[in-house]
Structure 1
Amino acid sequence: MSRPSALLTRTLAVLGLVAAPLLLAAPASAEEPSRLAGQLTDDAGVLDDEGRQQVEEALQRLQDEDGTQLFVTFVATFDGLSGPDWAAETAELSGLGTSDVLFAVAVEDRSYGVDVPEGFRLDAGQVDDLVLSDVEPPLGDDDWAGAATAFADGLVPGSVPWGLLGAGAGVLAVGGGGYALVKRRRDAAAEAERVRAAGPFPDESTEQLTARASEGLLAVDEALRTSQLDLDYAKLQYGEAGVAPFAGTVATARQEMQQAFTIRQQLDDEVPEDDPTQRRMLADLLGLVKSADDRLDAQAAEFAQLRDLEANAPQVLDGLAPRVTALTGRLPAEEQKVEQLRRRWAPSAVAPVDQAVPQAREQLASAEHAVTAARAELAAGRTGGAVPYLRTAEAALSGTQATLDSVGARAQELETAATTVPAARAEVQAGITAARSVDPTDAAAVAGPVAQAQEALTVADQLAGGTAPDPIAALSRLDAADDALDTALAGAQQAATARRDAAARAERAVTTARSAVNAAALAVSSGRDVASTVPRTRLSEAERHLAAAEAALLADPATALREATEANSLADTVQSSISDARRDRERQSSSYSGGFFGGSGGGWSSGGSFGSSGRSGRSSSSGRSSSSGRRSSGGSSGGRRSSGGRF
């Protein structure tokens, strides 16, 4: 071997020995600023499924509110940069626009960075107050999802950071206590909104409900007092017995109003209630007031009828006698109909009208007695005294007619049911046949309703057949079985449709992920000179998730979809990382000035950044303006401003 070759070999070996420990010592999860793969990235792996969903929902709420798109990213470290600098570089590489905000957290560095566009509706001080009061406390508790959610919620227009509410100094002093107060405030606001939306008055404010309650209490209390005066006068005219129902109505309305006034007193006392409690109490109050008002309105109508009856008592009495005679004449015919029903149908089918004629006779007797008493009162000149008897007679005659009419109605119902049973039976049988063809996965869910339907067919055949059938009972059993079958079959159909849709989504996701992983593998293979451990690690993870997705595709589409989505995201990160590394290499090449081993654009720097990091002249201490203090600012450049701190 020639001396130059030997020298070169030994030199490379020495460099390898020097570089290898540095590679091993460098944190594998360090993240250089790069183009974000999505609105929420978690390269640090700190979010579980529930936390990810919580953050995504908060990001969507913010975007729906005014179009602000918040990007959140969790990484292990900022790779030697300060939070503001890392956020600013990442925002630039990601091409964030005038409605985009970036929140970056390095979980191992215990630092964060925020980058917002110039002219953002919150100035720098407001953003800092929001982060300090709402975001830093959950970060300090390792509540990563809570921190991102608090930041997103705090950016919603109209949501003022707790530190800006006038007691800023006190809240800043309590630190984590401020976060707890903010969380309780938000929880209370959410509960108030839930109660408002779910309550009977979703479109009215609490102030409007309070005004309505006051008006209702005043109006109905006046109506109650008027009704009591009418009742007292009616007692003098018609006697206690004649107005007993009215007295009961007034008493019930008075109890309801007393309860309503008690609620109002509780609302007016010195103990304050929160908004949800106020709305619940006001809803209860208004319900009581409405119930009392409805009772009194019905009573007013009854009083009007009572006065009309008194004014026309002789004419009313004359009209009752023909009605008694007519109903009495119907008794033999209705008794014969009942006997026919007994011979034609089962006792259970005739039971509702079996005693109809004896009941009608009793009602007629009561009517005749009341007519006799009313005639006596009128003859004595006591018109008011005749009114209760006239009312009793009218009620008894109306009851008699309804009782006798029920016999014919029952006969018609039985005939109709008998002709309907065959069709109902066919429907149940069709449901059983359909249930036997459901997907085996859903067989257990329909097994119970099928067994019940088969039993119903047997019972219905027994009830509808024989010499004394009960078709109404048979139809009832068949209808219940049919309803249960319909519900079970609808559920099975929905489940089958959902599985097909999930399988289709999963298959599309796996296809997309497979293409993305193949492209990422090609990018690493063709860019081995710039592919650091980060893209190689992401590629390995993407391949693992893709394999898991392919394995679960047939048996568990939901898992396959989740794994394929993760694989696709990781593959995108690989390609972005390779592209960024190539650009860094090109920038290094353009600024290169020196021999094979000289110059500041290549090799490894004194700060420990190796190879293709692409940050010429950056050392491990650069950008660490926050290491000596709690908060830091990256200044403003390129139409954006950044800030950050430690937690």
Structure 2
Amino acid sequence: MPRPRAVLPRLLAVAALAVGPLLLAGPAAAQEPLRLDDQITDDAGVLSADDRARVQTALDQLRADEGLQLFVVFEDTFDGTSGPDWATETAQLSGFGDGDVLLAVAVESRDYGTSIPVAVISSSDDQLSLETDQVEPHLADEDWAGAAIAMADGLSPSNTGWYVLGGAVAVAALGGGGYAVVRRRRRAAEEAEAIRKAGPYPDQSTEQLTNRASEGLLAVDEAVRTSQLDLDFARLQYGEAGVAGFAGTVGNARTQLAEAFSIRQQLDDEVPEDEPTQRRMLARVLELLQAADDQLDAQATEFAALRDLEANAPQVLAGLGPRLTAMTGRLPAEEERLAQLGRRWAASALAPVADVPARVREQLAAAEQATTAAQTELQAGRTGPAVPSLRTAEDAAAAAQASLDSLAARAQELNTAAAAVPAARAEVEAGLVAAGRVDPTDAAGMAEPVTQARDSLGVADQLMAGPTPDPIAALARLDAADDALDAALATAQTAAVERRAAVARAERALVSARSSVSSAGAAVAGGRDWAGTTPRTRLSEAERLLAAAEAAFATDPAGSSQSAARASSLAEEAVSLVDRARRERESRSSYSGGGGFFGGSGGGWSGGSSYRGSSGRSSGRSSSSSGRRSGGGRSSGARRSGGGRF
């Protein structure tokens, strides 16, 4: 007895829609249905040697695992035949049996078809799902090898979990509910992999993160304990005031370490966490440990500086005096510099440095007071207690130096800004000119930036007018206006490019739709004896949509493209239906005409048995051409055709 064969929970589905004329440099080679001797046929030349090898490996694996042969064909076009019909005829010519599956792709016309035994497929819904989720995305990206491999993978039980047993579909249960367990585990694994890739440590396994967190907890715990000992010793040496900042640092690090240990305890308790949760918790542990370690490293540097200050206290104290004296002597010159700046620039331009003289006097006074305190401690032989005062004096002296230097820096900033204002103004004016040239269709977001830019020009002129201008404020306004204009112009440019692309797509779609609707009209007119209600309905709707697309082209090219594409699809479906009805009529050897048709010998429609249905013709859609993605029913040859456009 043959073993159960894996069935796709979802395979490829349905109704092919051949594309219209393609605007190419030359005509693509068309291929009629053919007999296949090899599993890979690449007449379109789209597979590289590596692609072919990868596809062959997938086909061999499928055959070894499931006993199924997947044939893949890549052609330029299907010679005007729809994808499902081409696949069906090729399967018939090739003598395919219940173990043979076909995927045929027309790479230039972007059409494809499948032929699958009903013994291998579970339902048309499964066929549709696999087409949408797995195969069609590869075709849309022109990943031809990926599409073939995706279809082969879809036939593997690792991707399905469904089996055909005696013609009936059953769940592959691994001991009652096993299938659901496998699926849940697979989803959990997929989620864990996604979280790992998206997390802060994508290149490390959960086990590696666990080990890293354990090592980090040990290292940081030791560092906190060592830092506490250093802090206690420093407190004895320099007093509580001298180490207040260090105490806060150690406290913060201890709090972060405690939170990290708490998370580790949750990971170790009797309540298990799934792997994604473990990774999130471990990542938080590592984040806390890194923060604590960084603070302790900074504290270690500060401690080292404090000890250096203690070791060199007499020298530091000796150097402070001349520095303070020099800054005190420099202060009158800087006050005069500030006065000169005030006569040249606006008060608003000097606001950040207006209080520099007063600020420097306060800083120098603080430094003098701390120096005196340190000197008293050193004279008494108490080096440790002198360190906090020396540190205070050093900090105050450094602040006074920075304040004095800020006046010269502000003067340079004002001169640089004043020189840059004319160029900035010219850039804004050029932006306004460019904005005026933007097509109104693309200028939806231009109004506010244009108004802002015009206002900024006026404000900048006012700021630069008079004997005491403020070039820094003027430059800031002009730069902000220029940035807003640049952003709006970039958006408008993108909109223009997108609009032109949409117009081009609409033009191509309309060319295709006109051709398709014309062909459908000719097919229906030429096949009036067998063209039933369905193809005529499709043609009528295609004509309506084409008219709508023509009307919308000027104002809504995107909507025009959609209507034209739908018109092409319906028209091509109508042609396929008419052609199928013709073939069915020709193959029905026992068919006899009879009266009662429009224009026939029966004298018109009477509403009774003389209507078209009485002749035995099928006016409805068949399984392979009943719409974009309808799977249809089982065919008489125990195969189901599918496919579509990508």
Q: Give the alignment's TM-score, normalised by structure 1.
A: 0.68
Alignment-derived partner of residue 384 in structure 1: 384
Alignment-derived partner of residue 105 in structure 1: none
RMSD (CA atoms): 4.4
Q: Alpha-carbon deviation of 1:224?
A: 1.2
Alignment-derived partner of residue 287 in structure 2: 287
Once structures 1 and 2 are overlaid, which stretch shifts more, 212-221 or 243-252? 212-221
Q: 1:419-434 counterparts in 2 under 5 A?
A: 419-434=419-434
Residues 1:170 and 2:177 are matched in the alignment: yes
Alignment-derived partner of residue 436 in structure 2: 436
Task: Give CA deviations for 1:563-600 in whole Å, capped at 9, x if unaligned.
Answer: 11112222222333333334334434xxx479988xxx
Q: 1:439-518 counterparts in 2 under 5 A?
A: 439-518=439-518
Change (3 A) 1:184 1:595: closer
Alignment-derived partner of residue 543 in structure 2: 543
Q: Alpha-carbon deviation of 1:279?
A: 3.6
Alignment-derived partner of residue 347 in structure 1: 347
Change (3 A) 1:381 1:149: same
Alignment-derived partner of residue 8 in structure 1: none
Q: 1:36-435 counterparts in 2 under 5 A?
A: 36-37=15-16, 92=91, 116=116, 155=154, 159=159, 161=161, 169-170=176-177, 195-435=195-435
Number of aligned residue pairs: give it. 508
Q: Alpha-carbon deviation of 1:408?
A: 0.3
Task: Give CA deviations for 1:187-220 in whole Å, capped at 9, x if unaligned.
Answer: 8777656654543334444444333333322221
Alignment-derived partner of residue 21 in structure 1: none
Change (3 A) 1:555 1:594: closer
Do 2:425 and 2:478's aligned partners in 1 also have CA atoms closer than 8 Å? yes
Change (3 A) 1:159 1:328: farther
Alignment-derived partner of residue 556 in structure 2: 556
**Cα distance in structure 2, aligned partners of 1:185 and 1:544:** 51
**Cα distance in structure 2, aligned partners of 1:99 and 1:539:** 32
Provide the secondary structure at the position in 2 that maps to 1:318: helix
Do 1:35 and 1:576's aligned partners in 2 also have CA atoms closer than 8 Å? no
Provide the secondary structure at the position in 1 that maps to 2:467: coil
**Cα distance in structure 1, aligned partners of 2:93 and 2:563:** 25
Alignment-derived partner of residue 145 in structure 2: none
Do 2:91 and 2:115's aligned partners in 1 also have CA atoms closer than 8 Å? no
Change (3 A) 1:398 1:456: same
Q: Alpha-carbon deviation of 1:93?
A: 7.2
Q: Alpha-carbon deviation of 1:409?
A: 0.3
**Cα distance in structure 2, aligned partners of 1:641 and 1:532:** 23
Once structures 1 and 2 are overlaid, which stretch shifts more, 90-99 or 538-547? 90-99
Do 1:452 and 1:481's aligned partners in 2 also have CA atoms closer than 8 Å? yes
Amino acid at match of 1:170: G
Do 1:100 and 1:117's aligned partners in 2 also have CA atoms closer than 8 Å? no
Higher helix share: 1
Do 1:635 and 1:641's aligned partners in 2 also have CA atoms closer than 8 Å? no
Q: Alpha-carbon deviation of 1:397?
A: 1.3
Once structures 1 and 2 are overlaid, which stretch shifts more, 567-576 or 474-483? 567-576
Amino acid at match of 1:37: A
Once structures 1 and 2 are overlaid, which stretch shifts more, 371-380 or 456-465? 371-380
**Cα distance in structure 2, aligned partners of 1:166 and 1:352:** 77
Give aligned-pair identity as a percent: 58
Q: Alpha-carbon deviation of 1:150?
A: 10
Q: Alpha-carbon deviation of 1:349?
A: 0.9
Q: Alpha-carbon deviation of 1:498?
A: 0.8
Q: Alpha-carbon deviation of 1:609?
A: 8.2
Q: Alpha-carbon deviation of 1:246?
A: 1.0
Amino acid at match of 1:250: V
Change (3 A) 1:99 1:202: farther
Task: Give CA deviations for 1:142-164 in whole Å, capped at 9, x if unaligned.
Answer: xx879975999993975464997
Alignment-derived partner of residue 77 in structure 1: none
**Cα distance in structure 1, aligned partners of 2:451 and 2:184:** 52
Provide the secondary structure at the position in 1 that maps to 2:540: helix
Q: Alpha-carbon deviation of 1:171?
A: 7.2
Unaligned runs of 5+ in 2: 1-12, 20-54, 63-69, 73-84, 105-113, 137-149, 163-169, 595-608, 620-632, 642-646
Provide the secondary structure at the position in 1 that maps to 2:240: helix
Do 2:464 and 2:471's aligned partners in 1 also have CA atoms closer than 8 Å? yes
Q: Alpha-carbon deviation of 1:472?
A: 0.7
Q: Alpha-carbon deviation of 1:454?
A: 1.5
Give the structure, 1 or 2, with the largest relative contact order (CA under 8 Å, sep 6 or more).
2
**Cα distance in structure 1, aligned partners of 2:18 and 2:226:** 67
Task: Give CA deviations for 1:462-497 in whole Å, capped at 9, x if unaligned.
Answer: 111112211111111111111111111111111121
Unaligned runs of 5+ in 1: 1-33, 41-62, 72-85, 103-113, 173-177, 598-603, 615-631, 643-647
Task: Give CA deviations for 1:228-253 in whole Å, capped at 9, x if unaligned.
Answer: 11111111222211111111111111
Do 2:548 and 2:563's aligned partners in 1 also have CA atoms closer than 8 Å? yes
Provide the secondary structure at the position in 1 that maps to 2:505: helix
Q: 1:517-596 counterparts in 2 under 5 A?
A: 517-588=517-588, 592=589
Q: Alpha-carbon deviation of 1:281?
A: 3.2
Q: Alpha-carbon deviation of 1:635?
A: 12
**Cα distance in structure 2, aligned partners of 1:636 and 1:169:** 35
Task: Give CA deviations for 1:25-49 in whole Å, capped at 9, x if unaligned.
Answer: xxxxxxxxx9841599xxxxxxxxx
Task: Give CA deviations for 1:370-394 in whole Å, capped at 9, x if unaligned.
Answer: 2222222222222222222222222
Q: Alpha-carbon deviation of 1:405?
A: 0.4
